[in-house]
Chain A
Amino acid sequence: MAKVLLEMKNITKTFPGVKALDNVNFQVEEGEIHALVGENGAGKSTLMNVLSGIYPYGTYEGSIIYNGEECQFQTIRDSEKKGIVIIHQELALVPQMSIGENMFLGNERGSKNAINWNETYKEADKYLKMVGLSESSHVLVKDIGTGKQQLVEIAKALAKNAKLLILDEPTSSLNETDSRALLDLMLEFKKQGMTMIIITHKLNEVVYVADKITVVRDGSTIETMDKHSETIDEDRIIKGMVGREITNRFPKRENVPIGDINMEVDDWTVYHPLYTERKVVNNVSLSVRAGEVVGIYGLMGAGRTELAMSIFGRSYGSEIQGTLKVHGKEMTLKSPREAINAKIAYVTEDRKGNGLVLSNPIRVNNSLANLAGVSNRGIIDKDKEYAVAMDYKEKLKTKTPTVEQNVGNLSGGNQQKVLLAKWMFTDPDILILDEPTRGIDVGAKYEIYCIINDLAASGKSVIMISSELPEIIGMSDRIYIMNEGRFVGEMKASEATQENIMACIIQSGKGE
């Protein structure tokens, strides 16, 4: 029996009107990797914020016992002094500063009045080596990729003498290779005796890396599973998360007749907006028929979003070559407006950054891409707009008291529904959905899948971009596989397996 490093007892945290945590008990043993899983809004992040002192002692009930003593953290600094370091989902690095500067930001080396830069960079290099980065610590953070930035975050945590490392969705912005590298690094640290808590939505990662898994649901800890006493697979975890067994993660497709080709892209090449000689999308051809769901699978950085955005009114890229045919007619779409008029919709992967106006209500977001549909010569008919928003709220089962609610107050899944509603209201024939289920919980995912199926059943063409293999196989009729800007494979869903899709990618890598 290993020593219990951390024990959180009877933690209750209330926000005005909501009980975010209700009498939570949570134990972490020394030297283990403990995964915290649960749907969005279940209370995982709140729990970690209580632990790290973001919510200071006194604003919650219950006690935290760390390393045998009771702790009353007032600020993050207090918890960091004890060796509890949290790495947040959003990277907290200053892009214009060097790796070394970032790593010791707020933890500067040297005396009170002068920073010792030599020591800073020397130390930084040491920690960089520990996380397996070969970059010099003088390199600016903006010049390295997201995967490496995540590693810098970890190095930064190590520099604070972390004993208990908390990683909040560390792989949410990483591609598969970088994710795997990060998880392996975690396993490496475990060998050296580090204790870690990981919060993640990706169940395959949980299975891969965690010793114990605690499920949080509706502000309470439901159960803790131990990998050493039972076999744990993804279905077992999902059962714990949603409180029921999801027998089918993907809704059945009705057998809809697949119609004519709605959109065709030929020899499509897109150049990088800054490095204008670099091809981000390289000679890609694709077609999509009415009533068809076409999946584009690729890792992050494969050029999927860039492909979609360049089709959608050239909203990405410096130069674009190739032909685009919509309903058999060749078209040049020079702006999002022209793309919308050509009945194409692009539902972004980044709903907060590129999709929604968070400070505006659902009603306003719903009609933003098609204000002409609710107005007359530039004058908005608010009654009509309200009716439209209500209609979509009912249709998509968006959970909200009213459509006057600001979108920023909704959960991820409901935000995604509003975003879908916004684009459905433009009445497109072709919908390009970019990671439509990113960062939303299992229940909401299922509902989004149902909406996608309904869209296809009504004769729309759907292009779904995803980096989740089960999703792409479960939802598509046909799958394109993309790697490093090229399409490296195409297969029917009935022939697709996780293995042969990955094989396409690996082979294409070797062919270079």
Chain B
Amino acid sequence: MKGVKLADVLKKYTMVIALVLVVILFYITTQGRILYPQNINNLISQNAYVFVLAAGMLLCILTGGNIDLACGSIVCFVGGVGAVIMERDINVWVAVIIMLVCGALIGAWQGFWIAYIKVPPFIATLAGMFAFRGLSNVILQGYTVGIRNVTFLNVFGGGADCYIPDFFGGAALNMTCMITGVVIAAVYAGVVIFNRINAGKNGYEVEPAGSAITKTAVICAVVVWLFYMLANYKGIPTSLIWIAIVLMAYSYITTKTTMGRYLYAVGGNEKATRLSGVDSRKVYFFAYLNMGLMAGLGGILTVARATQAQPTFGNGYEMDAIAACFIGGASAYGGEGGVFGVIIGAVLMGIINQGMSIMGIDANYQKAVKGLVLLVAIIFDVMSNKKKK
């Protein structure tokens, strides 16, 4: 199995390579400003919702290219509910739980129609898109409702103080952040080595040493660099914690659990999966339930960051999430894709947005470019599928 072909590597990591090229491009056109610590920090906090929604959307797409058009409206609705109840001085954690439950219930509502009544997902969620946008307006009565609960804002990445405090009191550099980064990289490398030794012991196939080392080294270097940048600004933004939790959880669900396996199987061949004794309805229901839950969390992050809820929030968020999944290599026919791809897709879109903003390019052009990037990504997916045949 030696001699990994360059072409194969290029194909496997096309989007990673594209991401690197885009970063280099913007690095040049913005005279390096795109990689300023503050901008990196903003990239994360501004796009937190994309990561979270795309993780949920990934599950739906895996089941057969199904999407959820309603999640932007659900973000707004849940955010609105939260803002209104927090105005009444309710306990912040109770409010958070209500918001998450609210998202999950909406997800269950849509999932029920899609999974058990067989309403096409596109239509079921289109209905949700209209309905919850309208209901958001009803709840907020058309006004902006501010959020003043400091705990809520700090925990979910809004206001001035939404960073993990520096326990070590480093002067210029946030030591807590720096140490966290190094620890994460070390733990990751440790796990990789441990798994490799284990696999070797049991006589399983392992990745060629060269590529495994390179991959691990690159990932560790990126992590340490990222945390170094953040340490140079204000430290770890709390929204990054939520992103990390969600991505780790979904990475675990998709790769390690039986439910994750069923998502891929249903997307790959639903009939075969059903005849294998899997209740495919449960799988669809699970996917949309999760999407609702993530939309709930997305709502929390969105209103926290804005420190208020408005009836227009979340507009077009569903498209960002869908685009992140597809750019990240999820198949439009289902059954293929992963959390790593979602990360790459979301970062790529975020970089493009931010790079063009820094360059002062009009927001409308930005949309056009985003559209083109999405199209190119899908063309690539279709072409590579065609070649397989």
Q: How far is the CA of A386 from the CA of B256 in the complex (A)?
A: 13
Contacts A358-B268, A360-B335 given; indicate if A368 touches B204 (C-beta within 8 A): no
User: Which of B204, B276, B278, B388 is the most central at the interface, judged by chain A CB atoms within 10 Å of its CB?
Assistant: B276
Q: In the assembled complex, which residues on chain A have CB atoms less than 8 Å from the CB atom of B198?
A: 383
Does B202 sit at the interface, judged by CB under 8 A? yes
A375 to B259, CA, bound (A): 11
Q: Is the CB of A357 within 8 A of B257?
A: no
Say yes or no: B268 contacts A357, CB within 8 Å: yes
B277 — which chain A residues lie within 8 A by C-beta?
313, 335-337, 339-340, 369
Contacts known (A315-B275, A422-B276); A356 close to B269, Cβ less than 8 A = yes
Interface string of A314-350 (1 = CB under 8 A from B): 0100000000000000000001110110000010100
Residues of A within 8 A of B388 (CB): 408
Q: Is B272 an interface residue (CB 8 A)?
A: yes
Question: Does A378 have its Cβ within 8 Å of any Cβ on chain B?
Answer: yes
| Those of B260-295 within 8 Å (CB) of chain A | 261-262, 264-265, 268-269, 271-279
Q: Does A402 contact B (CB under 8 A)?
A: yes
> Residues 148-187 of chain A: 1 if any B CB is under 8 Å from the residue's CB, otherwise 0?
0000000000000000000000000000000000000000
User: Which residues in A have their C-beta under 8 angstroms from that of B335?
Assistant: 357, 359-360
Task: Please judge, given known A-B contacts A336-B277, A360-B265, A369-B277, whether A380 and B257 are in contact too, CB under 8 Å.
Answer: yes
A355 within 8 A of B: yes
The verdict on A371 contacting chain B, using a C-beta distance below 8 Å, is yes
Are A378 and B258 CB-contacts (below 8 A) given A335-B277, A356-B272?
yes
Chain A residues closer than 8 Å to B271, beta-carbon distance: 353-354
Contact (Cβ within 8 A) B336 A357: no
Q: Known: A354-B271, A357-B268. Is A369-B276 also a contact (CB below 8 A)?
A: yes
| Residues of B189-208 contacting chain A, CB below 8 A | 198-199, 202, 204-205
Which residues of B sit under 8 angstroms from A348, Cβ to Cβ?
272, 275
> Please, how many residues of chain B have a CB less than 8 angstroms from a CB on the other chain?
27
One of B205, B257, B273, B336 near A359 (C-beta < 8 A): B336
Residues of A within 8 A of B274 (CB): 315, 336
Residue of B whose beta carbon sits closest to that of A403: B205
- Cβ of B272 and Cβ of A354 under 8 Å apart? yes
Contact B256 A355 (CB under 8 A): no
The B interface, classified by DSSP as helix, strand, loop or mixed, is helix
Whole-angstrom CA separation of A312 from B276 in the bound complex: 11
State in angstroms the CA–CA spacing of A404 and B202 once bound together.
16
On whether the beta carbons of B204 and A357 are closer than 8 Å, the reply is no
The one of B204, B205, B272, B278 that contacts A355, using a Cβ cutoff of 8 Å: B272
Q: Would A375 and B258 be within 8 Å (CB), given that A337-B279, A422-B276 are in contact?
A: yes
Contact status A380-B275, CB under 8 Å: no
Residues of B within 8 A of A408 (CB): 388
Mask: chain A, 347-391; 1 = CB below 8 Å from B; 0 = not? 010000111111110001000110110010011101100110000
Residue in B264, B268, B275 whose beta carbon sits within 8 Å of that of A346 in the complex = B275
With A364-B261, A379-B257, A380-B258 as contacts: A354 and B275 at CB distance below 8 Å: yes
Q: Are B276 and A402 in contact (CB under 8 A)?
A: no
Output the nearest chain A residue to B268 by Cβ-Cβ distance: A357
Cα A135 to Cα B264 with chains together (Å): 43
Residues B268 and A360 in contact, CB atoms below 8 Å apart: yes
Residue of B257, B274, B275, B278 contacting most chain A CB atoms (<10 Å): B275
Interface residues of B in 176-233 (CB under 8 A from A): 198-199, 202, 204-205
A346 to B275, CA, bound (A): 8
Closest CB-CB distance, B197 to chain A, in whole Å? 13
Closest residue of chain A to B336 (Cβ to Cβ) is A359
CB distance from A190 to the nearest CB of B (A): 34
- Chain B residues contacting A354 (CB-CB under 8 Å) are 269, 271-272, 275
Q: Tell me the minimal C-beta distance from B328 to chain A in angstroms.
A: 17
Question: Which residue from chain B places its CB closest to the CB of A339 in the assembled complex?
Answer: B277
User: Can you name the residue of chain A whose Cβ is closest to the Cβ of B199?
Assistant: A383
Give the distance in Å from the alpha carbon of A358 to the alpha carbon of B262 in the complex: 14
* A153 → chain B closest CB, angstroms: 22
Looking at the assembled complex, report how far the CB atom of A96 sits from the nearest CB atom of chain B, in whole angstroms: 18
Cβ-neighbour of B202 out of A336, A353, A375, A383 (below 8 A):
A383
A386 in contact with B258 given A369-B276, A369-B277 (CB within 8 Å): no
How many Å lie between the Cα of A313 and that of B279 in the bound state?
A: 12
* B272 touching A357, Cβ below 8 Å: yes
Give bound CA distance, A213 to B388, whole Å.
32
Contact B276 A380 (CB under 8 A): no
How far, in Å, is B369 (CB) from chain A's closest CB?
31
Closest beta carbon of chain A to B146's beta carbon, Å: 42
Chain B residues lying within 8 Å of A404, measured Cβ to Cβ, are 205
User: Which residues of chain A have C-beta atoms less than 8 A from B272's C-beta?
Assistant: 348, 353-357, 368
In the complex where A358-B269, A359-B336, A402-B205 touch, is A336 in contact with B261 (Cβ < 8 A)?
no
B264 touches A383 (CB 8 A): no
A379 & B256 in contact (Cβ 8 Å cutoff) = yes
**Which one of B204, B261, B262 has the greatest number of beta carbons of chain A within 10 Å?**
B261
- Complex contact B268–A359 (CB within 8 A): yes
Q: Complex formed: what's the CA distance from A129 to B181 in Å?
A: 78
Q: Residues of A contacting B275 with CB < 8 Å? A: 312, 315, 336, 346, 348, 354-355
A368 close to B265 (CB less than 8 A): yes
* CB-CB contacts below 8 Å: B327-373 with A: 335-336
Cα distance A358–B267 when bound, in Å?
11
Contact sample, A vs B, 15 pairs, CB 8 Å cutoff:
A335-B277, A336-B274, A337-B277, A357-B265, A357-B269, A359-B268, A359-B336, A364-B265, A368-B272, A369-B277, A379-B256, A380-B257, A380-B258, A382-B256, A383-B199
Known contacts A336-B278, A340-B277, A359-B268; can you find 20 more A-B pairs with CB under 8 A? Answer: A315-B274, A335-B279, A336-B275, A337-B279, A353-B269, A353-B271, A358-B268, A358-B269, A360-B265, A360-B268, A364-B261, A364-B264, A364-B265, A371-B262, A375-B257, A383-B198, A386-B204, A387-B202, A402-B205, A408-B388
